[in-house]
Amino acid sequence: MNGETQKKQVVLTCAQPTGKLHLGNYLGAVKNWVSLMEGRECYFGVVDMHAITIPYVPAELRKNVYDCAAQYIACGLDPDKCNIFLQSSVVGHAELAWILGCICPIGNLERMTQYKDKARKHKDALNSGLLYYPVLMAADILIYDADLVPVGEDQKQHIELTRDLAQKFNFKYSDTFKLPEPYIPQSGARVMSLQTPASKMSKSDPNQSGTLYITDSADTLRKKIMSAVTDSEGGVKYAPDSKPGVSNLMGIFSAITGKSYAEIENEFEGKGYGDFKKSVADAVISHLEPVRLRYEEISSDKKYIEEVLKRGGEAAQRRANRLMSKVFRKVGFMRFE
Ligand code: AMP
Ligand code: TRP
């Protein structure tokens, strides 16, 4: 590695392998990761160790890992320009999490919003891994000495804990970790359900016709968009409080075409919702068509996906090793060559 490469900003983010990606995941997360790839050193993790904190089936987890990696690549994460890795294949995440756990007050973990939400949902299967989840996430970030962590708004609290733990460690054992910055996107950060635009587009929405999946066929996408809930007032105007359905469609249209709300309002002045929805459907379909075709091509090629994860994992391991040697030395552990 030459000096030039070493100065590159390091970007790290991860997602749990939880099945199909929807348009919210794409516009709010993955599309932005793609835009960060140029000129930076990027690590994108599929975090299977986080996925076992709630009830799961091992065979499904394995299938979801392949699927998740295939969808990332289909969305534009180029394995030649970034490192896509599987968390459990890199030695160090769990070790660092243990070390950070030993300087993390339990109260800080009990206060985490995501923990409280999930603990309520999984009352009967509550395990200590779920409480410890944010410490493992802090290790995921700190082990790569990352500068930038692109995440959704919901992960901000976890990044704050990460910075806090890095500071605690640096204070106790001397300067070791860089304090990472969260990177939260401006547009597409909150895509709402097409059927109940008051709630976020989600995989677990009981009304699945409100959720657009990136691998849905053109027909399905068009049907879902044409039957999106609007209002009886008419007029393509951005007003999230009084016209949440139309405003959500405008948000999607804007994130995909790059047009501002004012430009969209002008373009559809005097036109009905039917015309507008047709344009939204055309834009979404033509944007997602290449993604779906590429997904279909890659997802049947397990060998290729394994190759990508292996290569990404090796690069991730090399970077993780650098920091872990330092950490071991500082905390008083030994390595016998
Ligand atoms: P999740 O599917 O909740 O694990 O989220 C994966 C990523 O997608 C995170 O960065 C979330 O912030 C983002 N995300 C999830 N749902 C939405 C949504 N409806 N709108 C925008 N971003 C979302
Ligand atoms: N907790 C994140 C989520 O639910 C996933 C995650 C795990 C993550 N480790 C990370 C995100 C490290 C960014 C960096 O979406």
Task: Identify the pLDDT of residue 3.
Answer: 46
Tell me the Cα Rg of the chain: 22
Assess whether 168 carries a catalytic annotation.
no
Confidence of residue 95 (pLDDT cuts 50, 70, 90): very high
Q: Is the same domain home to 144 and 261?
A: no
Q: Does residue 13 have its Cβ closer than 6 Å to ligand 2?
A: yes
State yes or no: pLDDT of 50 exceeds 80.
yes
Q: Is the same domain home to 80 and 131?
A: yes
Span 71-86, mean pLDDT? Answer: 97
Assess whether 243 carries a catalytic annotation.
no
State yes or no: pLDDT of 2 exceeds 80.
no
Within a domain: residue 200?
Answer: no
Q: What's the total number of domains in the chain?
A: 2
**CA nearest to 13, candidates 170, 157, 181:** 181
Ligand nearest to the CA of 46: 2
Which residue has the CA at smallest separation from atom 3 of ligand 2?
A: 15
Cβ atoms of 217 and 204 closer than 8 Å? no
Q: Is the same domain home to 183 and 160?
A: yes
Span 15-33, mean pLDDT? Answer: 91
Assess whether 200 carries a catalytic annotation.
yes
The conformation of residue 191, written as its DSSP 8-state character, comes to P
Output the CA 17–ligand 1 centroid distance in Å. 13
In the numeric block, the tokens 């986080």 are attached to 50
Q: Is the same domain home to 183 and 223?
A: no
Output the CA 28–ligand 2 centroid distance in Å. 14
Instruction: Write the CATH number for 277.
Output: 1.10.240.10
> Taking the model in full, what pTM does it have?
0.90
What is the per-residue pLDDT across 144-157, written as a single tens digit (0 to 9) for each? 999 999 988 889 99
Token code pair at residue 225 = 């968009």
Range of the domain at 244: 208-296
Ligand nearest to the CA of 30: 1
Q: Is the same domain home to 279 and 223?
A: yes
Q: Is the same domain home to 231 and 110?
A: no
Q: Is the same domain home to 155 and 74?
A: yes
Q: Is the same domain home to 142 and 101?
A: yes
Of the listed ranges 129-133, 154-158, 223-227, 292-296, the one predicted with least confidence: 154-158
Q: Is the same domain home to 25 and 74?
A: yes
Q: Is the same domain home to 174 and 257?
A: no
Within a domain: residue 66?
Answer: yes
Q: Is the same domain home to 43 and 162?
A: yes
Q: Does residue 25 have its Cβ closer than 6 Å to ligand 1?
A: yes
Q: How far apart are CA 291 and CA 258, in angstroms?
A: 18
Q: Does residue 15 have its Cβ closer than 6 Å to ligand 2?
A: yes
Q: Is the same domain home to 270 and 163?
A: no
Instruction: Write the CATH number for 77.
Output: 3.40.50.620
CA distances from 257 to 129, 143, 281 (A): 41, 37, 12
Which residue has the CA at smallest separation from atom 13 of ligand 2?
A: 13
What is the per-residue pLDDT across 166-188, written as a single tens digit (0 to 9) for each? 999 999 999 999 999 999 876 66
